[in-house]
Copies of this chain bind each other. A is one copy, B any other.
Amino acid sequence: MLFSTKAEYGVRLMVELGRQPGSQPVSLGSVAEAERLPLSYLEHLVAKLRKAGLVDSTRGAHGGYRLAKPAEEITMDAVVEALEGQIAPMECFHDTPEGKVLCSHEADGDHACSTKLLWMRVQGGVNKALAGTTLAELVEFSTESAPTRAAAIGSAA
């Protein structure tokens, strides 16, 4: 599997928050019940989302979580990266702060890294899919009717 259930659960959590109409916070317990996921495990995941600035929290009674930004402005690359850590196809890949991509094999060798072309393409494909999908799309997708749903899938592939 490319991603673990951390991404799955976390995205479902975000969608659930995105479904709420008002701006009043929704408790993690109700999210856990709605999605039938273990509450104590969700606590770990939502902590990562909060540290990444994707959700806001209010403590105490009647507290809970809400989206830190409108759903249209939240893209899935930020969500998945917050949950799974840096997304790279291979361990030798790491982004520099300037947005470049480095392959650690290239430093110590004279000839080119034979796999770099492949992993660059994979990373490009994944990035395009994640960055091109907003939370608002998923919220809408999960509530609309089945026939219209089929058409949506290809639109950012």
Which chain A residues have a beta carbon within 8 Å of chain B's beta carbons?
Answer: 1-3, 5, 7-8, 11-12, 15, 76, 87-92, 111-118, 120-122, 124-126, 128-130, 132-133, 137-139, 141-144, 146, 149, 152-154, 156-157
Residues of B with C-beta under 8 A to A130 = 118, 122
Count of identical protomers in the assembly:
2
Asked whether B117 lies within 8 Å of A152 as measured between CB atoms, the reply is: yes
Least CB distance from A76 to B in Å reads 6
- Among A5, A121, A138, A143, chain B packs the most CB atoms within 10 A around the CB of A121
Asked whether B117 lies within 8 Å of A137 as measured between CB atoms, the reply is: yes
Asked whether B117 lies within 8 Å of A122 as measured between CB atoms, the reply is: no
